Structures are given as structure tokens and as C-alpha cells.
Amino acid sequence: MRVPLLAVRQVVLTLLLVLAGAAARVMPASAAGQDPAPTASFAVSGDLTGVAAVSASNAWAVGDTGSGGTLIAHWDGTAWKRVPSPSPAGSTLFRVAATSARNAWAVGCSGCRGTGVPEPLILQWNGTVWKRVANPGPAGSNLSGVAATSATNAWAVGATSKGKTLIERWNGTAWKQVPSPSPGTSASLAGVAVTSAGNAWAVGSTISGPDEKTLIERWNGTVWKQVASPSPGVSRGLGADLGTVAVTAAGHAWAAGEISCGCGPGFSLTEWWNGTVWKQVASPSPGGGTNLATVAVVSDHAAWAVGESGSGDGPTKTVALRWNGTAWKQVSTPSPGASASLDAIAVTSSGNAWAVGATSTVNHGRSTTLILRWNGTAWK
């Protein structure tokens, strides 16, 4: 079951479990042979919550082992293989970003599995090994999103235990905390996208009174400022949050998340930046409800969003939506096991994409990693 992002962040340990995809995964049992095993599977105990691809033959996936340890896998063009990574007690990774074969970042938290005070965790790939890098995030906080344009420009976002947004920037030498708006009584950021040293977007949610609303902030090269964004459903007593953002080459952007009904996946939420304002764009919510975890763009006319679909606190299935330049349409995805969902997607071209998540053999059961690949025709 997915829980609205901001509501979970109010309790740090619970937040970290949900964002890591360690919250219970549920999906109806499928008939034998209905959902074939994915061809790009990397089946180990745990959950994959982030993926980044430099090319069709170089990609990274990150997550956790399910028992309080980091999990990183690499695609070399032939197979996915686990790569050693620093794993402080009770740690997990949420997202990963890569700019070249010699530079990648992974973010998450340490001590977030009931083994002490949670602290933000940042790992860097230097072309040979993954190493932990110091960062100024305060104790009790976490980082749930990361984006980079080069070895000297990267952003990481998250939330503090005091209900404040957290943004850090890599300048090529060190990570520095940068002031960011924290509207409402509690605010948090879940996703970030960057196009240059002077332009970046961060998304999440904020609570004001009984209402959970979307939160979008923009970096203009000098400061982060909040930008108005739709919060559909709030007038009906529902919450709205954004967990992911991606920017097109033309400077437009997509943000995706969920209109929450409080139990299980709510209704899919997609919003479009047309260069002037953010507007909601209609998107399907198959399976009685849909939560979109990540969005990735190919161009203004092509994009993907993935997550999970289902209803209530019952079973869910993997879900993928595709933007064809006019509308969002559901595209069939494998949902192996008795419970499955997708947490992240990375696209290198119209004919190549990766989606990662988890699957389990029973409802609310222990999870196993799940990797799907788009070959230009189907997800397998």
C-alpha cells in the first residue's frame, strides 16, 4: 500500500520505508501463465526504487535488501549484476542519477531501519567503486531524489524530521545545503530534475491544516522559489502529492504523483509545465486506483510514467502510462508473482527504457527485485 508522501514524512521511519518501496506490496494473484517472467529480471531479495541509464549498455538500479542494507546493480549491456556498495546500519537507497560511465550518484538514508537516528546518505560512483560522500543534511532527515548534469553539478532533495524541505547541491567539491521554501505546517520534496546550472525543478507536497497539496519549486540560478501548481481533489477531502519530475529538451516539464484517497493507490496525477504555468493533464487510473512513482521523458511528444494500480488495501499490479503527444494511455506490463509494482523508470531513446520495482509471492509478503525493459514494442 502506498501512503501519501507528505503524511508519511511526518514520521521519519515510516516515510523512509514507504519511499524505499518497503511498504507492503499488494496485487491480485494471477492465473498460471498469465504474467510471464520479465526477461530483464534481476531476482534477489529486496526492492529496487531508482534507475538511471547513460546508454543502452550502461545503467544503474538502486534500492535496499529488505533487511537494512543498500542494493546496487549495474547493466553492462548483457546482464544485471550486483555491485558492492557502502551499507551503513539500517540503510536504503531511493534514487540514482548518472552523467557518464565514471560519474553517478545514489541517495537515501542510513539508520532508517530502526538502528539509530536516520541520516541522509549519499554515495558516488567514481568509475571504479561506490563511496560514501559527506553531506550537511541534519540528523533525522533523508534524501529521496537526485539529479545531475555533470561531475560538478548535482542536486539532491528530501525532507527533515521537523517537516521542512531539504535541498543540497554538489559543486564539484562538496555538498552544500541550499535554502528552500517550506510552506504550510509541514513540507517535503520527493523528486528533482536539472537541466543546467541555472535551472532545476523539485516536487513534493505540503500540508496546511487538514489538506495535503502538491508542492513545486524552481531554481532560477540564484534561489529556489515556489511555483503555483494544481492540487486536484483537495476540495473533495482528498490529498494530492507529486513524487517525480522530468524536463524535456524544449524546457517543458512533466510532474507525476497521486490524488490520494487514504488507502492504497488513489488516482493518477500528471501535471505539465508549458513554459508559463503548471496544468493538470488527464491520465488513466486503471485497477480502481493508480499511484505514479516516476516519470521520464523522451521529448515533448513522448513520455513514460510508471507505478502501481489497485484499490484499497488489497492487491496491486505494475502499471505503465505512455504520453503520445496527445493523451496518456496505459501500456501492458508484466506483473509476476502475487504482488508487484514499479518504482522508477529511465529512458535512453524511444526504443529503450528500464523500469524497476519489486514483486512478492504473497500479499504483503517479502519482496524480490523486479526489472522490466522496453524494447520499442513491449515491456518484458
**Residue 216: which of 307, 280, 311 has the closest Cα?**
280
The C-alpha cell at 178 is 541550499
Between residues 237 and 269, the one the model is more confident about: 269
Alpha-carbon distance values, 379 to 60, 79, 223, 306 (Å): 18, 17, 40, 12
Give CA–CA dist 372/187, Å, rounded: 33
Sign of CA dihedral 152, 156, 161, 164: positive
- Residues 295-324 as b or e (16 or more Cβ within 10 Å = b): bbbbebebbbbbbbbbbeebbbbbbbbbbe
Q: What are phi and psi of 284, to 5 degrees?
A: -70, 155
Give the pLDDT mean for 234-257.
95
The whole-chain average pLDDT of the chain stands at: 89
pLDDT of 34? 38
Segments making up each domain of the chain, as ranges:
5-374
> What CATH number labels 5-374?
2.120.10.70
Whole-model pTM over 0.85: yes
Which residue in the block uniquely carries the three cell numbers 502538491? Answer: 214
Alpha-carbon distance values, 247 to 154, 201, 225, 241, 272 (Å): 15, 8, 17, 18, 10
**Residue 94: which of 147, 58, 170, 25 has the closest Cα?**
147
**Residue 21: which of 66, 51, 55, 61 has the closest Cα?**
66
> What are the pLDDT digits (tens) for 1-51?
333 343 333 333 333 333 333 333 333 333 333 344 576 778 999 999 999
pLDDT of 39? 65
Q: Are strands 352-360 and 367-374 parallel, antiparallel or unpaired?
A: antiparallel
**Residue 292: which of 254, 343, 334 has the closest Cα?**
343
Give the pLDDT mean for 128-134.
98
Q: What are phi and psi of 19, to 5 degrees?
A: -65, -30
Give CA–CA dist 182/158, Å, rounded: 11
Query: Which of 4-18, 239-253, 349-363 bottoms out in mean pLDDT, i.e. has the lowest?
Result: 4-18
pLDDT of 256? 98
Give the pLDDT mean for 131-149.
96
Give CA–CA dist 75/5, Å, rounded: 30
> What are the pLDDT digits (tens) for 53-71?
999 999 999 999 998 899 9
